[in-house]
A and B are shown apart, each in its own frame.
Chain A
Amino acid sequence: MAAATVLTAAVPPGPAAATANAILAVDNITKRFETPEGVVTAVEGVSLSVTPGEFVSIIGPSGCGKSTLFNIIGGLLDGYDGTVKVAGDLVRGPHPAIGMIFQEESTFPWRTVIDNVAFPLEIAGVAKSERYDKALHFVSLVGLDGFERRYPAELSGGMRQRVSMARTLAAQPKIMLMDEPFAALDEQTRLLLGDKVLQIQQQLKQTTLLITHNITEAVQLSDRIFVMTYRPGKLKRMVKIDLPRPRTSEIVSSEAFGRYVAQIWGDLREEASRGMRADESAKLHHGGHS
């Protein structure tokens, strides 16, 4: 494998130069929360764009506002400055073009795998036989053939996250938004699921925005990675991942992969340390209760 050059660019604050064919355009987002300790700026001046078929990750330390950004882009949170546009359409709430996969286990425990996956089609009013045919396709796509009639309680954590992914894909969103979907899984399962995501992305050319704190996962999957600062969360740097596609988890042992990981960790270490110090200080201030 040819040694890849690590391409990085510092991301200036404020409005970004709009990418002409961007399917997702996040422009100068700032979100403040009122807390008993005063106003906290969770994210500040975040601008980025994602082009069709691209896999982009946002990585940052705990408390950098990643999940706030996820909720804003997904239309679940309002009261912020700036704009989010999907295919030119202003996002004012949950948008049908955006599919979301959450960090927490989010399958419906009272529905079988196939009924979970068929859920968005049921909501859309698709006829029963047609929606089951489509759902079967997505169940198969995430590699859960044979588990269609099982309930989530009968599946492992990794399998349940694949059900969530199939359910989101069944809605055929223009952009898939993922908030640390594999955070609760062990490293091996995470790498293998990463393979599955890569395979699906390759097959569907699915535009994806992943929010994560896992560097390996971000490098393994992404075309570009935005590194965020600790609170207030700003975009610190953009790293273009120039690793060949199609990829598998084998790529994690390559030299180029290691260089990307080192580069991103170099940026993140300072932010993570700042976050840790702030967290410890808060614990000390509140008598050890967080």
Chain B
Amino acid sequence: MSASVTKARWFPGVLGFGSFIGAVLLVELFIRLGLINRFIVPLPSDIVLAFPRVVIEEEVFRRFLLTAGEAFSASILVTVFGVAGGVLLYQFRLLREATETWVAAVAAAPLVLIYPLYLVIFGRNATTIVMMGFTAGLAPVMLKTLEGLSGTRRVLINVGRSFNLTPWQQFWKILFPAALPTIFVGMRLGLIFSLINIVGVEFLINFGGLGQLINELAERYDLAGTYAAISFVILISICVFFVTERLERWLRPVG
């Protein structure tokens, strides 16, 4: 392959997509050869053929928008409260020392298990699902915000001090932009945790959007349809990454 082709801007994207198609074709081949049990993994070609059925008969777009809306609501809550929580932990040493281990433990805990409690508190509705997403995504955003603020290079803080910045200016002009890349790592983690829990709880309580659809299709043993519905969950995940990346580039163009 010539060097000019590999250096082209489009090449990594095409290579990634090509590799994905290659892997799908390989799975198709292995299933047809009987190396993979088709009652466990459906043929990729069957999944593709299931898309029109899932879209038309199962109202996938309505469900997609419902799950995306819940994910969006949870994302806003996670971002606002996670970043604010991280800032509080950074500002107040006592609070940090008292709670950082707890927050880290919460980040690693299988929080989906508390859904019965939320069902009791909020009922079997979208609020429970959004709150589950919020709870799951909060800790990583808090911890990464704290890490980003604490990791701000001393010299940048000293530059701010040398220009007599007020604490407010010091935060908004130096600490926050310096911490943004790490905060966004936390946001991506948190939002993915949220999405996993949102779809998981939809599945468990058989309510709402794509999670409920996956549950119903799995109950009917419609494997191809189940995987087609999972593809829409992946689509939401891609949207979350796309939006956070654009937001980060907008807030902090380089570095």
Instruction: List residues of chain A with CB under 8 Å of any chain B CB.
Output: 74-76, 94, 96, 98-100, 102, 104-106, 108-110, 119-120, 123, 151-153, 171
A109 and B253 CA atoms in complex are apart in Å by 9
B161 pairs with A151, CB closer than 8 A? no
B254 pairs with A120, CB closer than 8 A? no
A104 pairs with B153, CB closer than 8 A? yes
A96 pairs with B164, CB closer than 8 A? yes
Q: Which residue of A lies closest to B252 (CB)?
A: A110
- Which stretch (B169-177, B184-192, B209-217) binds chain A? B169-177
A199 and B178 CA atoms in complex are apart in Å by 33
B158 pairs with A110, CB closer than 8 A? no
Q: List 17 A-B contacts (CB under 8 A).
A: A74-B162, A75-B161, A76-B158, A76-B162, A94-B164, A100-B159, A102-B155, A104-B155, A105-B155, A106-B159, A108-B159, A108-B174, A110-B178, A110-B180, A120-B163, A151-B254, A153-B255
Residue B112 at the chain A interface, CB threshold 8 Å: no
A105 and B255 CA atoms in complex are apart in Å by 14
Contact of A123 among B153, B158, B169, B252 (CB under 8 A): B169
Q: How close is B35's CB to chain A, nearest CB, in angstroms?
A: 48
Contact of B162 among A94, A104, A152 (CB under 8 A): A94
Residue B165 at the chain A interface, CB threshold 8 Å: yes
Contact of A119 among B155, B163, B178 (CB under 8 A): B163
A76 and B162 CA atoms in complex are apart in Å by 7
Q: How close is B170's CB to chain A, nearest CB, in angstroms?
A: 10
Please, which residues of chain A bring their CB within 8 A of the CB of B165? 123
Contact of B163 among A104, A123, A152 (CB under 8 A): A123
**Among all A-B residue pairs, the 8 with the closest Cβ atoms:** A109-B255, A100-B162, A104-B155, A151-B254, A110-B252, A110-B177, A106-B155, A102-B155
